[in-house]
Amino acid sequence: MLAVNYIDLGMMFMNVILIYARIKDKLTKEDAYELNKLYMSGLTYKEAMDKLKEIKNKTFSKE
């Protein structure tokens, strides 16, 4: 039962990050999910944003 509560808290925290990112940085839904993956991997929010920008720049430069 306790483990389920921690999972629920983690999911709520993830949703807060997604909402914050979409409002503050005007990200698309897909970019917000990618940012969340980076953030949950242990990066700070700023580091995760920088990494996301690098990824997006590489993607756009290939096209």
pLDDT, mean of each 10-residue run, the chain (63 residues) = 62 72 76 80 82 80 58
Q: How many domains does the chain have?
A: 1
pTM of the model: 0.58
Task: Judge contact between 52 and 38, C-beta under 8 A.
Answer: yes
- Domain around 27: 2-62
Give the contacts of 45 (CB within 8 A, at least 6 positions apart): 17, 39
3-state SS, one letter per residue, for 7-52: HHHHHHHHHHHHHHHHHHCCCCHHHHHHHHHHHHCCCCHHHHHHHH
Q: What is the pLDDT of residue 60?
A: 66
